[in-house]
């Protein structure tokens, strides 16, 4: 008589999803080292500051806010900068869009937007359930790491041209679901259910970059991740191996043959927010433009006030979406290599106003854009290697040519880091667009002691972000 042993006795008989969820659910605050905690706290401050500024500065969050407000809903969580509360998922939706709309939050390696897809879901739950700072910090580490691991496991996708979808739209919901599941204290089985539910809500299309809709890629990711975790907490189920199943998540969004499962299952061995780290943005635009800005500011040191520029050639990787000779709006200028070069060569500084329609359609900008062309090279569109191929060459009316390249802006991986003082200057500038000087100071003080905040203090911090002058 043959006896079939159905007991799971080896790792090989446990599904990929179950293996991963068991690792994730077992991680607690006490497992995080000091550097990881400090990094997460810094990212928390960056995210909330950029969200407050984005809601105040840009059209998309305002339209979305009015839309959500018109739908009604149970007031559970603060909508940043708008002075009202919405349901948890609605607040995450708007706050995620606000956090991303400026394109001012940090850039990760491989490229993704991991704060705006994850942190708004965390904040909605933290406020509603009055959760402490340690819970928030741990959820943020887990949620961002989920996205990092998924991206890192697919090496070809480090070339942005090889991503079929905009990354925050398909890894963001997974990270938000992990973060929310931690705050809801879901076990590994229900975490797997949350991932299975949200996997059916993943996507985001590249052509919407440079439009209001791009901000929704992050807002929807955050809201969908939160909603999926809430459903799982109520017993809603899904395929228990959504990651490894035939035509499941990995097969749908990645090349299964090259997907490095060991990178994904190494979750918690170390954290990619620390190594290689993420790049803090000091300019509010798509990260590729930061290479252009840096090279052009270096070029300006070689050009005297009496020199007149005849033409500008930007040598860069071949990429479709930043090739915008005359961007249709100031917002679209955030994704234009030509506009980036014009801004840096014409202006002394680049800030949020640089991407207004007023600046985009000013007389000097209209004239100068006609002098700029791209020389696109057939090299990988990979931020880690982009500096090898970003060169800006200016020809002066005298016939003289000057050039500069950028192998990574300040704050780039392995380059000179943004100091804490420089980062705090950014945070304060963003918050003060909406908050009073007193409230700005209070928010910063809360953020600097994130680990120590109890549930009521966390709620007070989040509610301050809803104030507006």
The tokens for 27 are 């991680």
DSSP annotation of 396 reads: E
pLDDT single digits (tens) 341-368: 999 999 999 999 999 999 999 999 999 9
Q: What is the pLDDT of residue 437?
A: 95
Instruction: Show the DSSP H helices in 34-171 as ranges.
Output: 34-57, 59-71, 88-101, 119-129, 133-152, 167-170
pLDDT band of 388, cuts 50, 70, 90:
low
**CA dist 135 to 18, 26, 248, 445, 451, Å?**
23, 14, 30, 18, 9
Cross-strand bridge partners of residue 398: none
In this structure, the dihedral spanned by the alpha carbons of residues 96, 98, 100 and 102, taken in order and rounded to 10 degrees, is 180
Q: What is the pLDDT of residue 387?
A: 62
The tokens for 345 are 């060569």
Q: Within 13 Å and on the Cβ side, how many CA atoms surround 357?
A: 4
Instruction: Answer for the pair 196, 240: CB distance below 8 angstroms, yes or no.
Output: yes
Residue 385 in this model has a pLDDT that exceeds 80: no
pLDDT single digits (tens) 73-85: 899 999 999 999 9
pLDDT band of 256, cuts 50, 70, 90:
confident
Q: How far apart are CA 357 and CA 64, in angstroms?
A: 20
Instruction: Answer for the pair 146, 112: CB distance below 8 angstroms, yes or no.
Output: no
> Average pLDDT over the chain, rounded to whole?
93
Q: How far apart are CA 171 and CA 186, in angstroms?
A: 20
Give burial (CB, 10 Å; 0-12/13-18/19+) of 129. Answer: middle
- What is the bridge-based pairing of β-strands 391-396 and 309-317? antiparallel
Q: Looking at domain 12-281+442-464, does it have CATH number 1.10.4100.10?
A: yes
Q: How far apart are CA 342 and CA 372, in angstroms?
A: 8
Residue 2 in this model has a pLDDT that exceeds 70: no
Q: Domain boundaries in the chain?
A: 12-281+442-464, 287-405
Q: How far apart are CA 84 and CA 71, in angstroms?
A: 13
Q: Looking at domain 287-405, does it have CATH number 3.40.830.10?
A: no
**CA dist 419 to 62, 280, 447, Å?**
32, 10, 17
Q: What is the pLDDT of residue 10?
A: 42
DSSP annotation of 157 reads: G
Instruction: Answer for the pair 109, 276: CB distance below 8 angstroms, yes or no.
Output: yes
Q: For 172-178, what is the mean pLDDT?
A: 98
Q: Of 329, 319, 364, 326, whose CA–CA distance to 345 is shortest?
A: 364
The tokens for 139 are 């959820």
Q: How far apart are CA 465 and CA 402, in angstroms?
A: 46
pLDDT single digits (tens) 298-334: 999 999 876 899 999 999 988 888 999 999 999 999 9
């Amino acid at each position: 008589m043959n006896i079939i042993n159905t007991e799971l006795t080896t790792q090989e008989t446990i599904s990929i999803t179950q293996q991963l969820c068991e690792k994730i659910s077992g991680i607690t605050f006490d497992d995080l080292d000091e550097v990881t905690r400090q990094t997460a706290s810094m990212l928390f401050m960056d995210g909330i500051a950029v969200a407050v500024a984005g809601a105040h500065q840009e059209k998309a969050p305002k339209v979305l806010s009015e839309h959500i407000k018109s739908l009604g809903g149970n007031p559970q969580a603060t909508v940043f900068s708008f002075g009202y509360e919405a349901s948890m998922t609605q607040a995450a939706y708007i706050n995620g869009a606000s956090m991303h709309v400026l394109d001012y939050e940090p850039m990760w390696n491989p490229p993704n937007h991991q704060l705006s897809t994850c942190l708004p879901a965390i904040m909605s739950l933290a406020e509603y359930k009055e959760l402490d700072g340690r819970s928030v910090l741990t959820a943020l580490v887990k949620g961002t790491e989920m996205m990092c691991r998924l991206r890192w496991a697919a090496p070809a996708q480090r070339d942005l041209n090889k991503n079929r979808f905009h990354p925050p739209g398909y890894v963001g919901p997974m990270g938000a679901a992990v973060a929310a599941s931690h705050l809801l204290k879901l076990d590994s089985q229900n975490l797997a259910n949350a991932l299975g539910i949200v996997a059916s809500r993943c996507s985001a299309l590249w052509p919407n970059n440079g439009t209001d809709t791009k901000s929704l890629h992050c807002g929807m990711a955050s809201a969908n991740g939160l909603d999926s975790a809430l459903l799982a907490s109520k017993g809603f189920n899904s395929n228990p191996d959504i990651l490894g199943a035939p035509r499941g998540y990995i097969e749908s969004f990645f090349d299964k043959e090259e997907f490095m499962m060991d990178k994904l299952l190494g979750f918690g061995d170390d954290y990619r927010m620390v190594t290689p780290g993420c790049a803090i943005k000091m300019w509010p635009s798509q990260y590729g433009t930061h290479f252009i800005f840096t090279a052009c500011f270096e070029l300006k040191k070689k050009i005297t006030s009496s020199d007149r520029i005849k033409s500008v050639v930007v040598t860069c990787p071949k990429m479709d979406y930043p090739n915008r000779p005359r961007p249709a709006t100031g917002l679209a200028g955030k994704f234009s290599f030509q506009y980036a070069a014009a801004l840096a060569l014409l202006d002394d500084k680049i800030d949020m106003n640089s991407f207004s329609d007023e600046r985009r359609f000013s007389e000097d900008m209209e004239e100068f854009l006609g002098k700029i062309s791209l020389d696109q090279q057939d090299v990988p569109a990979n931020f880690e290697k982009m500096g090898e191929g970003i060169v800006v060459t200016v020809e002066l009316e005298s016939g003289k040519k000057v050039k500069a390249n950028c192998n990574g802006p300040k704050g780039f991986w392995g380059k000179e880091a943004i100091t804490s003082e420089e980062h705090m200057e950014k945070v304060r500038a963003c918050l003060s667009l909406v908050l009073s000087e007193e409230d700005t100071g209070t928010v910063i003080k809360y953020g600097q002691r994130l680990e120590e905040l109890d549930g009521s203090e966390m709620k007070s911090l989040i509610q301050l972000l809803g104030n507006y002058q």
